[in-house]
Structure 1
């Protein structure tokens, strides 16, 4: 691990904000680092308001999309809501279809089969629409690059509305409306919405034309918050407002499908992290192991008994997913060692029988192990399909773009992407990808970084300090959980390794008479650094520990030196 300390913000700005808000300078400093320098900005940060959401009609083509949907409903057309099979896609379909069904009964849903159709808009989906007399398809979380497929649909008399958030190519598809804040010609003020977020803006626009207010749409925000967390988009600006209110819905009035999934969970208040690690994997498991429509069915089900049935099926898929993920990760690690590829700048592995549904998770695991831009390939029909994951600071999408001569199709984001290629191109692609990454990556990025917000003393960690810190949530990219560093601390002498395989470190640290408990996951091997009252420094976040009904603050160690 390399530790980097963020630059100290301007002292005068910090002091001024601390006085204005009546908070200590550590809190003020954390706020200034996040671009919050005035009372008004702090108010918007600490008290997110639905009134801060932008007018949906600022998005290019929104008026065209709304008009086409209104006409379809007035003329009793059949509408198909089409979305990808991941969390963002399935929550988008659940959101859009359930809202449209309040206006028309003629609404169908469609999720492509991960294995037969692959990612995004498919010819099979368009043929299905044509066979079922569907004249309008609303595509969510996909479609921005589907030029030929949109043209094919048009030739069949089917209109498309695209709601996407991926980067467009050089050409925009010839659809009735293309909603994507990342379009160069779109002046929408916030560019970082997820697919479900773009879908929500369309619902918001439809609702405003019907005289409905944002309060009438609150019940859909649990889906939007789930997609924001799962798709790892920045939790800033509009996403922060949507995530904040979505979490309120999840905690106070969850939809029936969420209730069913959470029936075994013993947490009183769910955070965005819980959504990412408890709800999202279960929604994803349906598309990974069986079919994404199972997730949509659960998310839109209103009968609790039926939802419980669906949830137990999805729990089964999730357990299958865990088993596949574990065994494929082990095989991939063996392959890397066998091929003596630890010294490369990239990790690229391939096995034709690997389960396509879990290669993205395996790519993430390998990235954690070797900390390299990573690709995991498997056979998919006539082609090879891969999931790409990157390391912090390196744009894997651009790297794939530089290898496009060898790729059949690709899409995605800076840190996660997917691609297909023909088997005969595999070796050439692997070589080219290594060349591109090795010549463009800053070598520092190949060592995991702990980015520390500020140094702090143990006596500054008070209940009031933590109460204010909790209000920085929901956390995520652009507003990460603050990481602190304290130097010159010692263990009280009661440190021990805990966990089934003794991998975790539990201790109490002290400095200047202040003692506080600490837990370091996967830091058991570093216990020697703190034995015999040696002084050390720690990088950590702060959270609460509940034991026998008593709640106390503790340090969640990220690393010690």
Structure 2
């Protein structure tokens, strides 16, 4: 691991904030690293409020979208709520459809089939709308590039409202309204909403026309928080407030579908991390292994008994997904070894039978073993389809663009992309991709990096300090869990490997008179570094250990040297 200590903020700024907030210097430093450098900014950060949400009508086309929906409701038009098959898409569809059903019975939902229709707005979905006399489609988490599809719908007399958060192309679809804070001509103050967040802004605007305050929409925020966590958008600004109150709903009064998914989690309070690792994979598994409709059905169900039945079904899809991706990962690792490709700078693997729904997960898992840009291919019709994943700091989208002569289609962003190519071009593409990465990657990026917020002493770790940094939550991009480094540590002599295959390391770190237990997952191989009371330094986060009713602070070790 590469350890990178973040630059120290200007001393005067730290001292001024420390004085204004009456906190320790290390807390003030952590806040300034997150862009919080005044008393008022800190107040908003520590005490989020739904009143801090921006006026939805600041978003370009919001007034037009609201007017068109109001007209459709007044005229008893059939409205189709359309969304992608992933977590952001299915939560968006659940949010919009359940809100509109409080105003009309003429609301239906449509999720495209991952394998038959692919990502985003589909011709098949528009044909379904025409066949069933829908005159308005509200597309969520997709559509900002669907120029030909929106034109096709217009020919059939179907209007489109698009709620998206992806970067638009040079031209926008000719929809009634295109709600997307990333539009160049949109002056909405916060640009990082997920698709479900944009959907929430639309229902906030609709509700305001009925003189409903935003607090009346709190019941929908469990969906928004789930989408924020799953879509890995920054948990800053407006997203922070939405996630904060969404977690409150999840922990106090979640909708029956989410309640059923979290029923097996034995924790007093769920965090965004729990949502990402418990709720999101199960919702995603529906679209990966079966159909995204199962997720929407679960998330919109109001009967608790039925929700539990649907959740069991989705849990079964998730178990199937887990077994499938573990098996394919093993097969891919064997392929890399057998082809003697350990020394390459890329991993590109293919088998015609691999499940298309999990190849993105497999690509991420391969990076855990071989930390380098990775593509996993499978057969898709008469072509090969792949998911690409990258390492921090390397733009895989640009690398694919440089190899585009071998590719049929590709799309995505810096760290994740998808592509298709003809089988006869696979070997040429594989070689071209390796050559492009060799030519352009900084070799240091092939070693995983840990960004360290601050160097502290064990004596700095007090219950009060932990209480304050716990209030930095919810954590996520833009506001990650604080990571600390401490030097000149020794183990008591009782450090040992624990867990299956001795994968994990448990120790008690001592510095002066201070000592604290540390647990390091998947670093059992570092035991020799701490034996015989050899001095070491550690990188860690701080959390609580609950054991037989006793609560104590512990170090969650990320690495030791």
Structure 1 length-normalised TM:
0.98
SS for the counterpart of 2:135 is: strand
CA shift, 1:343, in A, is 2.5
Q: Tell me the equivalent position of 2:48.
A: 48
| Partners of 1:395 and 1:179 in 2: CA distance | 27
SS at match of 1:157: coil
Distance apart, 1:205 and its partner CA: 1.2
Partner-residue secondary structure (3-state), 2:190: coil
Cα distance in 1 for partners of 2:7, 2:17 equals 18
The corresponding residue for 1:288 is 288
Residues 550-559 or 438-447, more deviating:
438-447
Distance in 1, Cα, partners of 2:520 & 2:130: 56
Match of 1:440 in 2: 440
SS in 2 for 1:434: helix
| Of 280-289 and 345-354, the range deviating more from structure 2 | 345-354
Whole-angstrom distance in 1 between the partners of 2:65 and 2:550: 54
Mapped to 2, the partners of 1:171 and 1:432 lie a distance apart of 31
Matched with 2:327 is: 327
* Pairing of 1:214-363 with structure 2 (within 5 A): 214-363=214-363
Which residues in structure 2 correspond to 1:138-537 (within 5 Å)? 138-537=138-537
The secondary structure found in structure 1 opposite 2:295 is helix
- State the alpha-carbon separation in 2 of the partners of residues 373 and 408 from structure 1: 20
**Farther-moved stretch of structure 1 (57-66 vs 235-244):** 57-66
CA distance in 2, matches of 1:400, 1:147: 24
Partners of 2:553 and 2:76 lie apart in 1 by 59
Shift of 1:497: 0.7
5+ unaligned residues in a row in structure 1: which ranges?
none
Match of 2:548 in 1: 548
Give yes or no for contact 1:167–1:412 (8 Å, CA) kept in 2.
no
What corresponds to 2:112 in structure 1? 112
Q: Distance in 2 between matches of 1:199 and 1:396?
A: 29
1:490 is displaced (CA, Å) by 0.4
Distance in 1, matches of 2:408 and 2:208, equals: 42
Distance 2:42 2:398 in 1: 35
Deviation at 1:414, TM superposition (A): 2.4
Aligned position for 2:21: 21
Q: 1:261 to 1:419 in 2, by over 3 A?
A: same
SS in 2 for 1:530: helix
* In 2: Cα distance, 1:159 partner to 1:78 partner: 11
Moved more, 61-70 or 318-327: 61-70
| Cα pair distance change 1:42/1:98, threshold 3 Å | same
Shift of 1:122: 1.2
The answer to which of 52-61 and 485-494 deviates more is 52-61
Q: CA RMSD in A?
A: 1.3
347 and 489 in structure 1: CA distance in 2 versus 1, 3 angstrom threshold: same
Asked if structure 2 preserves the Cα contact closer than 8 Å seen for 1:251 and 1:269, the reply is yes
Q: Distance in 1 between matches of 2:407 and 2:153?
A: 25
Preserved CA contact (<8 Å) 1:5 1:453? yes
Q: CA 1:73 to 1:401, structure 2 compared with 1: closer, same or farther past 3 Å?
A: farther
Q: Measure the CA separation in 1 of the matches of 2:147 and 2:401.
A: 18
Residue 235 (structure 1) shift: 0.7
Q: Quote the Cα distance in structure 2 between the aligned partners of 1:231 and 1:349.
A: 26
Between the aligned partners of 2:266 and 2:522, the Cα distance in structure 1 is 24
The alpha-carbon deviation at position 282 of structure 1 amounts to 0.7
User: SS at 1:185's partner residue?
Assistant: coil
Q: TM-score, normalised by structure 2?
A: 0.98
Counterparts of 1:77-88 in structure 2 under 5 Å? 77-88=77-88
Q: Could you tell me how far apart the structure 1 residues matched to 2:382 and 2:232 are?
A: 31
- Show the counterpart of 2:129: 129
User: Once the 2 structures are TM-superposed, how far is the Cα of residue 73 of structure 1 from its aligned partner?
Assistant: 1.2
Distance of 2:259 and 2:540 partners within structure 1: 33
Preserved contact between residue 85 and residue 111 of structure 1 (Cα < 8 Å): yes
Cα deviation per residue 1:183-217 (whole Å; 9 max; x = unaligned)?
A: 22222111111111111111111111221110111
Q: Aligned pair count? A: 561
1:422 deviation in Å?
Answer: 3.0
State the Cα distance separating 1:163 from its structure 2 match: 1.1
Structure 1 residue 15 displacement after superposition: 0.9
What is the DSSP-based 3-state SS (H/G/I as helix, E as strand, rest coil) of the residue aligned with 1:134?
coil
Sort the Cα spacing of 1:66 and 1:427 in 2 relative to 1 into closer, same or farther, 3 A.
farther
Report if aligned partners of 1:491, 1:530 keep a CA contact under 8 Å in 2. yes
In structure 1, how many angstroms separate the alpha carbons of the residues matched to 2:92 and 2:404?
Answer: 30
Q: Is the 8 A contact 1:516 1:554 kept in 2?
A: yes
Shift in Å, 1:398: 3.1
CA displacement at 1:471 relative to structure 2? 0.3
CA deviations 1:140-187 (Å, max 9, x no partner) are: 111122222222222222111111111222221221111111222222
CA 1:413–1:196 in structure 2 vs 1: closer, same or farther (change >3 Å)?
farther
What displacement does 1:512 show?
0.6
Given that residues 141 and 163 in structure 1 are in contact (C-alpha distance below 8 angstroms), is that contact kept between their aligned partners in structure 2?
yes
Alpha-carbon distance in 2 for matches of 1:5, 1:308: 46
Distance 1:206 1:405 in 2: 47
Per-residue deviation at 1:535? Answer: 0.4
Q: CA deviation at 1:85?
A: 0.8
